[in-house]
A = this chain, B = another copy of it.
Amino acid sequence: MSRITTIAFDADDTLWHNENLFEEHHRKYCKLLAAYHDEETVERTLFRTEMRNLELYGYGVKSFTLSSIETAIELTKGSISAEELRNILDFGKNMLAHPVELLEGVEETIAALSQDYPLMLITKGDLRDQERKITKSGLAPYFKHIEVVSEKKREDYARLFRQHGLNPTKLLMVGNSLKSDILPILEQGGLGVHIPYHLTWEHERVATAPNENDNFHELASIKHLPALVAALTS
């Protein structure tokens, strides 16, 4: 039963490394504020600022940089110097300018699957930054559709599928976030392949995997995806 007509992919931490850059920023940021507060307080306050600003700022490095500056001013009661804040601006710029590092096996897998299926890229975040990463990745030619969205909730996917005339029950989505890439697809009757990344942002964490759902699959590496697709369609 060949029910799969489109394979969709998340990008950050599914095709290329991303969360490791944020982790690096966190380390440098905690070091910068170490004279004022312990790491746990810094992390907790930064996350609270990010969540408070999420509706207004959305996702991405620029939002993260602005929230980092706001948190640093708050945590130091305004006594942090402008030069120290400039370091935070530079952390953000370095993240934006960083080379794109593909995860192992990505290029071969995407190239192979693109011969048999139309591929779709669905990524959330800052428009300019995501477009730049897609270009730098060299993977753009393999994708029939590339969509940058501001959220990845069920209704955001439903809108995309309507626009492209796609039946969600015939779509397989691959991603590292159960919350953003897998659960909203399963809810619409699609297939979800979860490939965990070794780091997960607190905001993306969910309590339990939907292991009882027959449409849910988990892989240790994208390298095993072609075999899974073959098994699902044979």
A→B interface (CB under 8 Å): 56-59, 62-63, 65-66, 69-70, 72-73, 76, 78-83, 85-86, 89, 92-93, 96-97, 126-129, 131, 148-150
Contact = CB atoms under 8 A, between A and B. Distances in A.
A70 B92 contact: no
B66 A76 contact: no
A86 B73 contact: yes
30 contacts: A56-B93, A56-B96, A56-B97, A57-B62, A57-B96, A57-B128, A58-B126, A62-B62, A62-B63, A62-B66, A65-B66, A66-B66, A66-B89, A66-B92, A69-B69, A69-B85, A70-B89, A72-B82, A78-B81, A78-B83, A79-B82, A81-B82, A82-B82, A82-B85, A85-B85, A126-B127, A127-B127, A127-B148, A127-B150, A131-B150
A202 to B, nearest CB: 20
A132 to B, nearest CB: 8
Contacts of A63: 62
A98 to B, nearest CB: 11
Given A56-B97, A150-B128, A82 B76 contact: yes
Nearest to A54: B128
Contacts of A149: 127
Given A127-B58, A127-B148, A78 B86 contact: yes
A125 B148 CA distance: 13
Contacts of A72: 82
